[in-house]
Amino acid sequence: MKTVDSYNFAGKKALVRVDFNVPLDAQYTITDDTRIRAAIPTIQKILKDGGSVILMSHLGRPKPPQTESSEPFFDEKFSLKHIVDHLSKLLNKPVLFANNCIGAEAQSAAKQLKAGEVLLLENLRFHKQETAGTESFAKELSTLGNVYVNDAFGTAHRAHASTTIIAKFFPNDKVFGHVMANELASIDKVLNKAERPFTAIMGGAKVSGKILIIDSLLNKIDNLIIGGGMAYTFIKAQGGKIGSSLVEEDKLDIALKILNDAKAKGVNIYIPVDTIVADAFSNDANKQTVDIKLIPDGFMGLDIGPKTEKINAEVIANSKTILWNGPMGVFEMSNFEHGTKAAAEAIVAATRKGAYSLIGGGDSVAAINKYNLGNDVSYVSTGGGALLEYIESGSLPGIRVIEE
């Protein structure tokens, strides 16, 4: 793997695509700086070698005009200038800022940049050409530096100008940063070097978003645990009564196909046997624990039940590789978080016994962090959609262009 560790940045201007897409409150204070912290080792490596760093990122989803105007678009809410002070504190050195990621200001700031200095460019997505993947825009960005570093795993599944298109202008000088390298090593461990038994735990709201990933995983795993809202589609497909639980009527056939495919491939599939149901989608609703195939009318399943928790915990305890995507219930509500918390704790216990555990995809990451267990599993992925797409297709555009 071509990483920053195998490249000497002495005298180089490194153009580094980072993911500084952090949450800001109404006063533009950063409420979670995990992504900024994650990029620090890559920046430090370049500076230590005697290089300088030009950082480019997106922040949020600004809506620049779709015209061909050359005027830079600006929206205070999405300005990366709000990141400068905090980044400067983390790096313990001043951070320069350019109010536009291309054009005269950026060119001159990059030109004057000296070894050991750091320049942050304004939000790439203030130009519609970024998400459009426009080659001329990527080329303009590329002229700012002489080596390209991609350390933004969370956007590696997008063929955007700064994540993918730009790489062609650095045929011999393109490498992965530490965040990327760690993500790739972790995925490789799970997808290509998994110790058996390998268990995938899939939850979350809907089957529809998970079909491709389940399809792809069935060729690799020994056990598939299903939970969350998507479980009720499987139960209904098998003829169970699910009351007013979440269901995708048009995915009943696919649920049955997944069950058949699993059987054909020798994968043990664990669908919940009991569930905690509520008479409203509310933490204060009346609740009871029932057989998942016999949910009374007027009730919806919002969590897995205690028998299911126990079955799942046993499967997890006997696993050597674990991939977790999606909560087991509506874990945001304290009365319906037990199943998700129990799964997280079972994964932690298995990890302590030597299993490799990868947590990835939006809400399971939120869940593991809610229970402060992020440091007790093997790896928590920083890229939700990117991780899922990687597992589905075996690579990502932003990764292929560096490996080529």
The Cα–Cα gap between 18 and 49 comes to 19
CA 166 to centroid of chain Cα atoms: 22
362 to each of 88, 327, 358, how far by Cα in Å?
28, 10, 13
The Cα–Cα gap between 304 and 289 comes to 9
Neighbour count for residue 47 (Cβ, 10 Å): 19
Q: Where are the beta strands (DSSP E) in 299-383?
A: 300-304, 321-325, 356-359, 379-380
229 belongs to the binding site for ligand AMP (CB under 6 A): yes
CB closer to ligand AMP out of 222 and 303: 303
Among the residue ranges 145-153, 234-242, 255-263, 326-334, the one whose residues contact ligand AMP (CB under 6 A): 326-334
**Is 362 tagged catalytic?**
yes
User: What binding mask, one character per residue, do residues 132-171 give for ligand AMP by CB under 6 A, x or -?
Assistant: ----------------------------------------
Among the residue ranges 89-97, 253-261, 329-337, 345-353, the one whose residues contact ligand AMP (CB under 6 A): 329-337
**Is 398 tagged catalytic?**
no
Q: How far is the CB of 22 from ligand AMP (least distance, A)?
A: 20
204 belongs to the binding site for ligand AMP (CB under 6 A): yes
Q: Residue 172: is it exposed, middle or buried by C-beta count within 10 angstroms (0-12/13-18/19+)? A: exposed
246 belongs to the binding site for ligand AMP (CB under 6 A): yes
- Tokens for 79? 């300005």
Q: Where are the beta strands (DSSP E) in 284-349?
A: 287-291, 294-295, 300-304, 321-325
Identify the active-site residue in 35, 45, 128, 251. 35
User: What binding mask, one character per residue, do residues 285-314 give for ligand AMP by CB under 6 A, x or -?
Assistant: ----------------xx------------
Torsion of CA 380, 201, 224, 252, to 10 degrees: -130
Give the interface size with ligand AMP as a residue count (CB under 6 A).
Answer: 16
326 belongs to the binding site for ligand AMP (CB under 6 A): yes
CB closer to ligand AMP out of 209 and 240: 209
Q: Which residues bind ligand AMP (CB under 6 A)?
A: 204-206, 209, 228-229, 246, 301-302, 326-327, 329-330, 332, 362-363
Kindly list the catalytic residues.
Answer: 35, 206, 362, 385
